[in-house]
Homo-oligomer: A and B are copies of this chain.
Amino acid sequence: MQTDLVAALDIGGTKIAGALVDDRGRILVRTQRATPAREDGETVMRAVEEVLAELTASPLWSRARAVGIGSAGPVDASAGTVSPVNVPGWRGFPLVARVRAVTGGLPVELIGDGAAITAAEHWQGAARGHDNALCMVVSTGVGGGLVLNGRLHPGPTGNAGHIGHISVDLDGDPCPCGARGCVERIASGPNIARRALEGGWRPGPGEDASAAAVAAAARAGDPVALASFERAAQALAAGIAATATLVEVDLAVVGGGVAKAGDVLFAPLRTALKDYATLSFVQRLTVAPAQMGTDAGLVGAAAAALTRRSDVTAV
């Protein structure tokens, strides 16, 4: 018997990826376009339509039963619109209706990219088997998503889990979001590099002033580089502990470019977590590196579409 498939879209500021995915998370057809992020909204939509045209042209398309979209945020799942920070041509753009129009009226499920990655880690990755987990991406920004009671918790608008913009330092440095002392303002890759530079660290010849270069310096014992990662770890620990204290997650999965620093990040993160996760019911909280690779967004979007379908079936 041929199983049903879902179509998945992963929409970011750099690329728009699409796939047909089966109910075990296998990607059977895949396609991609660069995001014309600086163009007007219709030009960006055309790139999405080109991706979808390749999928609908596949002989497998007849088995597609729903479309899942994971998009750079903010999104508004209740309105079906997206306003990705890095795609200025899309502000309140009615992506769900537009995708439905070119996919023959299939049901369309929209979630933020943090929620999509979380759905993927929960289905196939480091959060498998965990009913309550936080999954994070620590990179140029800091994003995330939540699994609660065994299910993805995207929230009414699809944006839940935005741990990068909770304040852990209420008098701290202004964040571009308008608040102060956000986790992202302390722990993102660019902020790790900035803090190391301010402390006197310099990249080697031919090296960029990146978090990866700071991580290399930290591994070589550079105290300024180590201190910058420790401060990032402290902010991440405060944010993770806050999340666990609020909703009782027992696992935090950390991925993204900064997590590639490995023990340079994870060792001080585990130490700092003991300082902030103090109440009895959060002391079992553990931290694990992400397992999903670059397909996480597609697999997670597919998971969201499949979960929605099974909800509908169950009613």
Residues 55 to 91 of chain A near chain B (Cβ within 8 Å): 74, 76, 83
Is A170 in the interface zone, CB < 8 Å from B?
A: yes
Number of interface residues of A (CB under 8 A): 46
Minimum CB–CB distance from A12 to chain B (whole Å) comes to: 18
Contacts A170-B169, A178-B278 given; indicate if A162 touches B74 (C-beta within 8 A): no
Determine if B167 and A241 form an interchain contact, defined as CB atoms under 8 angstroms apart.
Answer: yes
Q: Is A132 in contact with B156, judged by CB distance below 8 angstroms? A: yes
- Are B131 and A156 in touch, CB under 8 angstroms? yes
The answer to whether A162 touches B246, judged by C-beta atoms less than 8 angstroms apart, is yes
- The distance from the CB of A142 to the nearest CB of chain B, in whole angstroms, is 12
The answer to whether A281 and B248 touch across the interface, beta carbons within 8 angstroms, is: no
The reply on A179 being an interface residue by CB < 8 A is yes
Task: Provide the bound-state CA to CA distance between A169 and B168, in Å.
Answer: 5
A247 sits at the interface (CB 8 A): yes
Minimum CB distance partner of A250 in chain B: B156
Q: Contact: A247 with B180, CB < 8 Å?
A: no
Chain B residue contacts of A157, Cβ below 8 A: 248, 281
Choose among B161, B166, B242, B248 the residue that contacts A155 (Cβ–Cβ < 8 A). B248
A44 at the interface (CB under 8 A from B): no
Which has the most chain B C-beta neighbours within 10 Å: A131, A170, A177, A278? A170
Whether A166 contacts B241 by the Cβ 8 Å rule is yes
Instruction: Identify the interface centre among A165, A245, A279: most chain B CB within 10 Å of its CB.
Output: A245
Measured between beta carbons, the chain B residues less than 8 angstroms from A285 are none
Contact (Cβ within 8 A) A162 B131: no
The A101-157 residues at the B interface (CB cut-off 8 A) are 131-132, 146, 148-149, 153, 155-157
Q: B279 and A177: CB pair below 8 A?
A: yes
Q: For residue A76, which residue of chain B has the nearest CB?
A: B281
By beta carbon, the residue of chain B nearest A249 is: B155
Give the one of A156, A242, A245, A246 with max B CB within 10 A. Answer: A246
- Residue from the list B132, B153, B168 in contact with A167, Cβ < 8 A: B168
How far apart sit A231 and B147, CA to CA, in the bound complex (Å)? 33
Docked CA distance A146–B245 (Å):
12
Q: 15 interchain pairs (CB within 8 A)?
A: A74-B280, A74-B281, A148-B153, A149-B153, A159-B248, A159-B281, A162-B245, A162-B246, A163-B245, A166-B241, A167-B238, A167-B242, A170-B276, A177-B278, A179-B278
